[in-house]
Homo-oligomer: A and B are copies of this chain.
Amino acid sequence: MKQNKYDDPDFFDAYAQMPRSTDGLASAGEWEVFRSHLPELKEKTILDLGCGYGWHCQFAAEQGATQVIGIDLSEKMLAKAKALTTANNVEYQQCAIEDFTAEPGSLDVIFSSLALHYVEDLASVFRKSAELLKTGGVLCYSVEHPIFTSNASQDWHYQDGQIQHWPLDNYFHEGLRKTSFLGSEVVKYHRTMESHITLLLDSGFDIQAVVEPKPSDKLVEEMGWHDELRRPMMLIIEAMKK
């Protein structure tokens, strides 16, 4: 099943209210870390898997990329992306992440921001990414962390209204999780850390970085995000095609 939750009008409208939607990359807490793991984008050919509003595609174009392709299954997302994007070398295609195609060995960089946890068959996405990338090309993606996705509740354990800890469970039971996001039921796929690394290695990638981003000390103090130091929420992996 290829999920197209973002064409659900209520879900799309709720997503539109998120700071990362209204304000772009600067309002995505993990952006600076994600950016630091992207290779040089100048004069490169780039593919963005699950491009959403197109903020990352626009960024790549601003960095001097030769060509940027953003794919997303959601028609509404792509309409928004096209409206927001000013660069003329960004092309958007309506396509499921599992179905993207390009000339083998034609891409320098594939990136994906918080989209691959919606994909059931991650192995095939990694295999195809390896096929489409040049040798030395980079795949960089962020997903929800296995610690975050393991338990479908995706919420803290409370007692008397106070957070007690993060309730981890079902870690080795990979696969579908029906969870709640922006007031709607959303289907995500939980995978272990071992699966992420093994699927990448088996697809012909070298591991360049495994990052568990956390808010800076400054943001923790300013925003009162102390609880965000109690469990990782996201995982960023940078891998290089051998």
Contacts and interface: CB of A to CB of B under 8 A. Distances in A.
Interface of A: 147, 151, 157, 164-173, 192-194, 197-198, 201, 206-212, 214, 229-232
Question: Lowest 6 A-B CB distances belong to which pairs?
Answer: A165-B167, A197-B210, A165-B169, A207-B207, A172-B229, A166-B168
29 contacts: A147-B168, A151-B165, A157-B164, A157-B167, A164-B167, A165-B168, A165-B169, A167-B168, A168-B231, A169-B230, A169-B231, A170-B229, A170-B230, A171-B212, A171-B232, A172-B232, A192-B212, A192-B232, A193-B193, A193-B212, A194-B211, A194-B212, A197-B209, A197-B210, A198-B209, A198-B210, A198-B211, A201-B209, A206-B206
Nearest to A215: B172
A194 B165 CA distance: 21
A147 B210 CA distance: 16
Contact of A171 (B194, B206, B230): B230
A160 B52 CA distance: 45
Given A147-B147, A170-B230, A198-B211, 9 more contacts: A147-B171, A157-B165, A165-B168, A167-B167, A170-B229, A171-B231, A197-B207, A201-B207, A201-B209
A214 B172 contact: yes
A201 B212 contact: no
Contacts of A193: 193, 210, 212
Contacts of A151: 165
Contacts of A164: 157, 167
A18 to B, nearest CB: 23
Contacts of A197: 207, 209-210
B172 A194 contact: no
Contacts of A194: 210-212
Contacts of A169: 165-166, 230-231
A175 to B, nearest CB: 13
A134 to B, nearest CB: 20
